[in-house]
């Protein structure tokens, strides 16, 4: 009888332990699966480990945006959605000079040299997004930024973006307006985390030392205005 009682006490303990092991191993497998998905399907074009190119020729050799700080850069929800239906963000590719040709009025993007981004299944997109969220280089830069909630009228934002700072020279703020050598910004608000936007505007070189975006020494006030403007652009659906 005594032995039977002891067995009855051991069974629940064993079951609980088994549960913990199963939960732990599936979490471990999930993490592993996410990272191996990144390694197998993304690492041939994207740098997952850093550092960013430190010379012009390394910059030219980069095939796709660095992802070793993806967790500080991207919004998870946007990643999950975009990875299933990728749409080009950089109109002239990763290094614009490799994808342009002389045109009658100006240099033109040579579409024939640009390749589409692969699409993932819903399950893989979630797995990849979760793994990317764990790549968090430059936490120190993010920690320096504070972006209070706020709004700005699109007319004031456009004045700051276009007339005061000249950002439209390289970036599109609508599908049919703006420059082509930088990433489009009409979806930036839904794509990027606010503190990343602030930090990158403050010093692109702190994230990517050789990048072709200049440091314009934008003031704190203007940085906040730009972030609010980019958020307003995404919400306004001006890219439609």
Partner 1 sequence: MNKKSFLFLGAITLWTLSPVLAGTSIAASAKDNYRTYCAQCHGIAGNGRGINIRDMSVQPRNHTDAEYMSQRSDDDLAKADREGGLAIDKSVLMPPWGDTLSPSEIQDMVQYLRTLCHCKYNSQ
| Piece of the chain touching partner 1 by CB under 8 A; list 19-27, 35-43, 120-128, 162-170 | 162-170
Q: Cα 164 to chain center, whole Å?
A: 26
- Bridge partners of 100, per DSSP, are 109
Nearer to partner 1, 19 or 103 (CB): 103
Calculate the CA dihedral of residues 220, 198, 144, 164 and round it to 10 degrees. -20
Q: Tell me the closest approach of the beta carbon of residue 140 to partner 1, in angstroms.
A: 19
Buried b / exposed e over 18-35, threshold 16 CB at 10 Å, is eeeeeeeeeeeeeeebbb
Catalogue the E-assigned strands of 75-224: 100-101, 108-109, 172-174, 177-178
Query: Looking only at residues 168 through 227 of this chain, which bind partner 1 when binding is defined by CB under 8 A?
Result: 168-170, 177-181, 203, 205, 210, 212, 214-217
- The token pair that represents 120 in the structure block: 């993932």
The residue among 2 and 217 lying less far from partner 1, judged by its C-beta, is 217
**What does the block give as tokens for 180?**
């082509």
What part of residues 53-72 is at the interface with partner 1 (CB under 8 A)? 56-57, 59-60
Q: Which residue in 165, 190, 222, 239 binds partner 1 (CB under 8 A)?
A: 165
User: What φ, ψ does residue 14 adopt, rounded to 5°?
Assistant: -65, -40
Contacts with partner 1 by CB under 8 A: the residue count is 35
- Our CB check for partner 1 shows the closer of 151 and 205 to be 205
Q: Which of 105, 148, 149, 221 binds partner 1 (CB under 8 A)?
A: 105
Give the three-state DSSP class for 203. coil
Stretch that binds partner 1, among 100-108, 124-132, 153-161, 193-201 (CB under 8 A): 100-108
Binding residues for partner 1, rule: CB under 8 A, are: 56-57, 59-60, 92, 96-97, 100, 102-103, 105-109, 163-166, 168-170, 177-181, 203, 205, 210, 212, 214-217
């Amino acid at each position: 009888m005594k032995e039977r009682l002891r067995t009855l006490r051991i069974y629940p303990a064993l079951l609980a332990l088994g549960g913990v092991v199963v939960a732990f191993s599936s979490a471990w497998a999930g993490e592993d699966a996410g990272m191996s998905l990144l390694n197998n399907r993304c690492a041939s074009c994207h740098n997952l480990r850093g550092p960013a190119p430190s010379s012009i020729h390394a910059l030219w050799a980069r095939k796709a945006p660095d992802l070793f700080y993806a967790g500080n850069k991207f919004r998870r929800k946007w990643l999950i959605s975009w990875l299933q239906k990728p749409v080009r963000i950089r109109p002239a590719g990763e290094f614009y000079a490799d994808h342009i040709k002389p045109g009658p009025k100006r240099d033109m993007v040579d579409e024939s040299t640009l390749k589409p981004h692969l699409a993932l299944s819903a399950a893989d997109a979630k797995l990849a997004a979760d793994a990317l969220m764990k790549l968090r280089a430059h936490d120190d830069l993010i920690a320096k930024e504070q972006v209070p909630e706020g709004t700005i009228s699109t007319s004031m934002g456009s004045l700051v973006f276009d007339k005061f700072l000249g950002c439209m020279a390289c970036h599109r703020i609508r599908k049919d307006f703006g420059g082509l050598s930088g990433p489009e910004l009409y979806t930036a608000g839904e794509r990027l985390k606010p503190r990343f936007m602030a930090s990158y505007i403050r010093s692109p070189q702190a994230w990517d030392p050789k990048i072709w975006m200049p440091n314009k020494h934008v003031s704190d006030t203007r940085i906040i205005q730009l972030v609010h403007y980019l958020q307003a652009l995404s919400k306004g659906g001006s890219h439609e």
